[in-house]
Each structure stands twice: as structure tokens, then as C-alpha cells.
């Protein structure tokens, strides 16, 4: 009687492959999911970000999002940790720091705000997340808020270094101006029209708020 050979169960790895391949596969799959967040965000916008759309873009089973990141917010956390969601100080400080330091505080701030507006206009997805923050709070909107708060503090130090203004009395007014810039750029982005706040308007606004 002919004996049939017993087949070994499939492991998902080639025969003889080292176990380290599993760790590499896991890391590669996690990275594909992280990359898929950016891909969906770039192509379809924030409202398209969901378990199914991200898993489909990564070409993996959606159960892997829960396995590797616990939930969608965990995946957002991982994406935000590797992504600059908001302009940084280099984007807003200008190309000539030596000249920048010779300017009066109001002129520094006007220059910084203009650079911020231009940097945001180049980041439509950042604007989308900023608008999304009005509708809901999640790991992605919180990460953007944290990066924005860091930049606000850096702008405060940069613009008012050596002046009589302190963080306590300048920070609330600075936040008001930055929020105005964000809303103006966001409105321009959504309506596909030019921003209303040009350099002269920013100069006037900063002068009125900071008493120049």
C-alpha cells in the first residue's frame, strides 16, 4: 500500500526562511500602513481617512491595523511621529537671519507671519487637518495642534527677542494674529482665491495689537 506524504502546514514563509523574516515583514507592513495614511490624505483628503480606505491603499487586511496599532488613532500617532504636519521655524524665519535680527520686533513679526502664510499655502493637507480639528479631535489633529503650539512659542521668542514684551503679555495677542493668518489662508485655499492679508495688512494688524 502506497503511503501518502503528509504535508506540513503553511507558515506564510518560504521553507527554510529565517524567523527574522517575520520581523521584517511586520515592520514593512507597518510602514505600508503609515505611508497609506499620507497617500489617502494627499489624494482624497481628511474625510476619506478610515480603516477601510487605509487598509485598501496599503493592500493589506484591515485587521492588521488593530494588530499593529490597536486602532485608527494609534496609526495616526505613528504617522504623525514621522511627519511634519505644520511649518517649522526654518519655514518662517526667512533666508537672512542676520538681517532679520536688525529689524524692529513688529517688522520681524510681520515678516514671520508673511512667511507662515506662504508656508501654509504650500501645505494644503495641513490646512485640511486644521479645518478637521474644528469638527473632531483625534491623534492627527492633536499632533498638528502640538506642532503649531511649538512653532507659536518659537515665533514669540524670535520676533520679540530683546524687547520689553514678555511671553505672558505677548502670547495671547500673537495667538490671535496667527489664528487670523491661518483662517485667511484656509479661506483662500477652500475658495481658490488670493489671501486677503498681505504684508501691509499684516503690518497694520501687528502694529495695532502690539502698539507700534
Tens digits of residue pLDDT in 134-143: 888 999 999 9
Domain that holds residue 196: 89-210
Total count of domains within the chain? 2
Q: What is the pLDDT, as a whole number, of residue 172?
A: 86
In the predicted model, is pLDDT for residue 11 greater than 50? no
Q: Is residue 3 part of a domain?
A: no
In the predicted model, is pLDDT for residue 121 greater than 60? yes
Give how far Cα 168 sits from Cα of 40, 58, 146, 151, Å.
40, 46, 19, 16
Q: What is the pLDDT, as a whole number, of residue 69?
A: 96
* Residue 49 shares a structural domain with residue 139: no
CATH number at residue 74: 1.10.10.60
* Average pLDDT estimate for 170-196: 90
Q: Is residue 122 part of a domain?
A: yes
Cell 502698539 belongs to which residue?
211
Q: Is residue 164 part of a domain?
A: yes
Q: What is the pLDDT, as a whole number, of residue 167?
A: 59
Could you give the CA distance from residue 166 to residue 163 in angstroms, rounded to a whole number? Answer: 8
* Residue 108 shares a structural domain with residue 158: yes
* Average pLDDT estimate for 183-193: 91
In the predicted model, is pLDDT for residue 42 greater than 60? yes
* Average pLDDT estimate for 76-97: 87
Q: Is residue 12 part of a domain?
A: no
* Residue 70 shares a structural domain with residue 95: no
* Average pLDDT estimate for 149-163: 85
Neighbours of 173 (CB within 10 A): 17
160 contacts: CB under 8 Å, gap ≥ 6: 105, 108, 109, 170
For residues 171, 152, 157, 167, the Cα torsion angle rounded to the nearest 10 degrees is 20
DSSP state of 14: -
* Residue 117 shares a structural domain with residue 45: no
Q: What is the pTM of this model?
A: 0.79
* Residue 34 shares a structural domain with residue 103: no
* Average pLDDT estimate for 121-128: 91
> On the CB side of 45, how many CA atoms lie within 13 Å of its CA?
7
Q: What is the pLDDT, as a whole number, of residue 1?
A: 46
pLDDT averaged over the chain? 84
Amino acid at each position: 500500500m502506497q503511503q501518502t506524504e503528509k504535508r506540513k502546514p503553511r507558515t506564510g514563509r518560504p521553507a527554510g526562511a529565517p524567523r527574522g523574516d517575520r520581523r521584517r515583514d511586520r515592520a514593512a507592513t507597518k510602514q505600508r500602513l503609515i505611508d497609506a495614511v499620507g497617500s489617502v490624505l494627499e489624494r482624497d483628503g481628511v474625510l476619506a481617512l478610515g480603516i477601510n480606505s487605509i487598509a485598501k491603499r496599503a493592500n493589506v487586511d484591515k485587521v492588521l491595523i488593530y494588530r499593529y496599532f490597536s486602532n485608527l488613532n494609534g496609526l495616526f500617532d505613528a504617522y504623525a511621529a514621522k511627519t511634519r504636519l505644520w511649518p517649522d521655524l526654518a519655514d518662517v524665519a526667512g533666508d537672512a537671519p542676520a538681517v532679520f535680527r536688525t529689524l524692529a520686533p513688529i517688522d520681524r513679526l510681520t515678516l514671520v507671519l508673511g512667511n507662515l502664510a506662504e508656508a501654509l499655502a504650500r501645505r494644503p493637507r495641513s490646512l485640511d487637518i486644521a479645518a478637521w480639528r474644528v469638527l473632531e479631535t483625534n491623534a492627527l489633529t492633536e499632533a498638528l495642534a502640538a506642532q503649531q503650539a511649538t512653532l507659536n512659542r518659537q515665533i514669540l521668542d524670535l520676533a520679540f527677542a530683546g524687547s520689553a514684551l514678555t511671553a505672558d503679555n505677548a502670547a495671547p495677542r500673537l495667538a490671535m494674529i496667527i489664528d487670523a493668518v491661518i483662517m485667511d489662508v484656509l479661506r483662500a485655499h477652500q475658495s481658490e482665491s488670493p489671501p486677503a492679508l498681505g504684508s501691509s495688512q499684516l503690518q497694520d494688524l501687528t502694529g495695532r495689537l502690539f502698539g507700534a
